[in-house]
Amino acid sequence: DGGITQSPKYLFRKEGQNVTLSCEQNLNHDAMYWYRQDPGQGLRLIYYSQIVNDFQKGDIAEGYSVSREKKESFPLTVTSAQKNPTAFYLCASSPGLDGNEQFFGPGTRLTVL
């Protein structure tokens, strides 16, 4: 059963802590993406990766970091430098490098206490 999985579904963090969100895909897609979704706003691109061991900053990369050590995995770390981290985080992948058909995971809701 192919798809994208994200874990955990809900995450609570204290201020000043780093936290890592997991994203795994078994679709054999080359490209992977991380988005942030806030109420009333469109999806905003945090980071994207076209290939293993390579990734690029999106529009709102400050306070976030990623790695792409395996084709299937693209974890996102929300660091303490991120000023307003409470949001819904979505991971996506696309079969090609042009990104026009993206498939999304179920999302992780991060709340900073």
Partner 1 sequence: QKEVEQDPGPLSVPEGAIVSLNCTYSNSAFQYFMWYRQYSRKGPELLMYTYSSGNKEDGRFTAQVDKSSKYISLFIRDSQPSDSATYLCALFKTGGFKTIFGAGTRLFVKA
- Total residues binding partner 1 (CB under 8 A): 25
106 contributes a contact to partner 1 by CB under 8 A: yes
CA–CA separation, 19 and 30 (whole Å): 25
Stretch that binds partner 1, among 13-21, 43-51, 62-70, 71-79 (CB under 8 A): 43-51
Work out how close the CB of 16 gets to partner 1 at its nearest, in angstroms, rounded to a whole number.
27
Specify the amino acid at residue 40. G
> Running DSSP on this structure, what letter comes out for residue 102?
-
Work out how close the CB of 103 gets to partner 1 at its nearest, in angstroms, rounded to a whole number.
7
64 contributes a contact to partner 1 by CB under 8 A: no
27 contributes a contact to partner 1 by CB under 8 A: no
The DSSP line for 50-100 is EETTEEEE-TT-TTEEE--SBTTB--EEE-TT-S---EEEEEEEESSSS-S
CA–CA separation, 2 and 15 (whole Å): 36
Find the binder of partner 1 among 21, 32, 46, 90 (CB under 8 A).
Answer: 90
Contact positions toward partner 1, by CB under 8 A? 4, 6, 40-43, 45, 48, 58-59, 88, 90, 92, 97-107, 109
